[in-house]
A and B are shown apart, each in its own frame.
Chain A
Amino acid sequence: MTRTVPVSARAQRRRSLVAIYWTEFRNEVLKNVRMPVFLVSSLAFPLMFYALFGLIFGRESVAGVTTATYMLATFGTFGVMGAALFGFGVGVATERGQGWMVLKRASPMPPLAYFAAKTLLAVMMGGLITLLLFVLGGLIGGVSLPLGTLASMFGILVSGAIPFCAMGLAFGYMAGPNSAPILVNLIYLPMGFFGGLWMPLPILPAFIQGLAPWLPSYHFGQLALSPLGAQSIASPWPSVAYLAAFTAIFLALATVLYRRDRGRPVG
């Protein structure tokens, strides 16, 4: 009941903001880590695909590197995209469906805390997937790269989660809890294949090579290939610009949908 004196009010508010963001993030991590579906779908698919394709085509060469090395970047891209799209798309849609979102919005929660927690988790999952792929590549793919190359590939892959967080967020507001996984898969899997993330683009038919530059997955993948010198883009900047614009568009869309979602036409 006691109200704080004005002098310390600002300091207190700053402390409490840290507490809010920390608790939100901690809960987001605990909530997901305790769901086997989340871990398996986020981690297992990119790792499994990489292990399969990497074993089969590992020693062959593409774009100047071994296929196993090339696919480290492309399946890293694929894994990061998946963690972001599923974490946001399915997560938000589910929590909206439960009414849990409305309760949080009725509470004095700063809305950004919820989205920041989800973004940070997606970025961390992206990092984890990338590290596990590196280990797998070293163990079974015979991949050997300088530490600097690995570090910059890691940095690019982890930051690449952001555009797909934005896309996933918009999907989370477009779809219901049951349709969200279907919607995400319908976008995610073709985006992976046609963006050259499953099979290296140079070995794919010409029409797919023509289609790929329209896709965000292609630009993300090309940026991730850059530290290897295996990219087919001349300069990274058009791809960076594409992904920045892509992020802005989906954030704007998500904002509109978030506002529209505000009230429920109930009772």
Chain B
Amino acid sequence: MQATLNTVHNMEHAATPGTVLELRQATKDYGKVRALDAVSIGINRGECVALLGPNGAGKTTAVGLLLGLDRPDSGQALMFGADPFALQNRVRTGTMMQVTGMPDTLTVQEHLEGFASYYPAPLGVAQILASTGLSGLEKRLYGKLSGGQKQRLHLAISLVGDPEILFLDEPTTGLDVNTRKALWQLVREFRDRNRTVVLTTHYLEEADALADRIVVLNHGRVVAEGTPDQIRASTAGKRIRAVTGFRVEEARELPGVARAVRDGDTLELHVTEAETATRALLQRDAQLRDLEVTTIGLDEAFISLTGDAREVPS
């Protein structure tokens, strides 16, 4: 029965079967800054896709085009094979964004009712409050909520219309561990009902925990795409540190070196496998000492992908 319903649904709406969101060669400039540079992304029904990248990578711009906040300067953005600006497409989506605040003098229930009114078949306020852990706070003013409660309300607002596509823009920035884990669980439950999730984040851990597929963006371009496992495998796996006179430029020429930086006397290399590079280092520098080889963590793998040490995710 469930399968039949979904099939009918697909036939009814999808231009490309299964694809619910698409960017085709989308380019967007803000003033002199190219926020997105000919980016193509396709997102299927029932998929959770994470757009991962440091601040300024173009994640929010990409989401803004997909959900119809803005139009690409060139290229195309499609929602259900049509214009994301059209309200009849947008009533099938929900969005959670980085907002620093909402009006303090409205209650939880009033905020939810406001957004619920935009949708043809919203969930009941009581139901959505229960599922987001806000029961009992209906009459609480927004200004009196804790940070975690506010974020839960933002999520509740994105879910209140019972959307087919959920956009989550940096959903857990600034959240404590417990609230973050609870939010992840809600997103998983949502995705398990064959709904689509688009998530932007600069935490690799978050993308890894939630996404079926990760698209890594940097400076407005897609620099890598794949399952979380593939993304990790495609990055340098080991770190070598040693006190040596070896020049950074020379080190970069060694086999398998993805990244080389100098920290005082210490040279640091990110490599795919440690043996070849270590052998080469030892052969060429007899004075080398304090050699250390470690496995790179997920967040560091992400840094070598985007190649931007200045914007280390905290």
Distance in Å: Cβ of B101 to nearest Cβ of chain A: 4
Partner of B91, one of A100, A108, A267: A108
8 contacts between A and B (CB under 8 A): A23-B114, A30-B105, A31-B103, A98-B100, A98-B101, A109-B118, A110-B87, A263-B69
Partner of A265, one of B35, B68, B157, B200: B35
Partner of A99, one of B5, B31, B33, B100: B100
With a cutoff of 8 Å between Cβ atoms, the chain B residues found around residue A16 in the complex are 117, 120
B69 touches A107 (CB 8 A): no
Distance in Å: Cβ of B100 to nearest Cβ of chain A: 6
A108 touches B113 (CB 8 A): no
Which of B18-26, B59-67, B285-293 interfaces with chain A? B59-67
B117 touches A267 (CB 8 A): no
With a cutoff of 8 Å between Cβ atoms, the chain A residues found around residue B161 in the complex are 108
Q: Which residue of A lies closest to B86 (CB)?
A: A108
Distance in Å: Cβ of B311 to nearest Cβ of chain A: 11
Partner of B101, one of A4, A30, A100, A263: A100
Interface residues in chain B, defined as those with a beta carbon under 8 Å from any beta carbon in chain A: 5, 28, 30-31, 33, 35, 53, 55-61, 64, 67-70, 87, 90-91, 93-95, 97-103, 105-106, 110-111, 113-115, 117-121, 141, 154, 157, 161-162, 167, 170, 200
Q: Which residue of A lies closest to B67 (CB)?
A: A106
B105 touches A267 (CB 8 A): no
With a cutoff of 8 Å between Cβ atoms, the chain B residues found around residue A267 in the complex are 53, 55-61, 170, 200
Q: Which residue of A lies closest to B154 (CB)?
A: A103
A108 touches B31 (CB 8 A): no
Given the interface pairs A99-B97, A266-B60, the reply to whether A23 lies near B117 with Cβ below 8 Å is yes
What does the 1/0 interface line of A19-35 toward B look like (CB < 8 Å)? 11011101100111011
Q: Which residue of B lies closest to A32 (CB)?
A: B105
Q: Which residue of A lies closest to B143 (CB)?
A: A34
Q: Which residue of B lies closest to A26 (CB)?
A: B110
B95 touches A107 (CB 8 A): yes
Kindly state the separation between the CA atoms of A180 and B24 in the bound complex, as whole angstroms: 39
A263 touches B30 (CB 8 A): yes
A98 touches B61 (CB 8 A): no
Instruction: State which residues 3-18 of A face B: CB under 8 Å.
Output: 4, 12, 16
Kindly state the separation between the CA atoms of A267 and B102 in the bound complex, as whole angstroms: 21
B120 touches A4 (CB 8 A): yes
Given the interface pairs A19-B117, A109-B118, A263-B64, the reply to whether A102 lies near B106 with Cβ below 8 Å is no
Kindly state the separation between the CA atoms of A58 and B31 in the bound complex, as whole angstroms: 57
Kindly state the separation between the CA atoms of A16 and B116 in the bound complex, as whole angstroms: 10
A262 touches B100 (CB 8 A): no
Kindly state the separation between the CA atoms of A139 and B30 in the bound complex, as whole angstroms: 58
Kindly state the separation between the CA atoms of A99 and B173 in the bound complex, as whole angstroms: 15
Distance in Å: Cβ of B292 to nearest Cβ of chain A: 35
B70 touches A262 (CB 8 A): yes
Distance in Å: Cβ of A117 to nearest Cβ of chain B: 10
Distance in Å: Cβ of A158 to nearest Cβ of chain B: 25
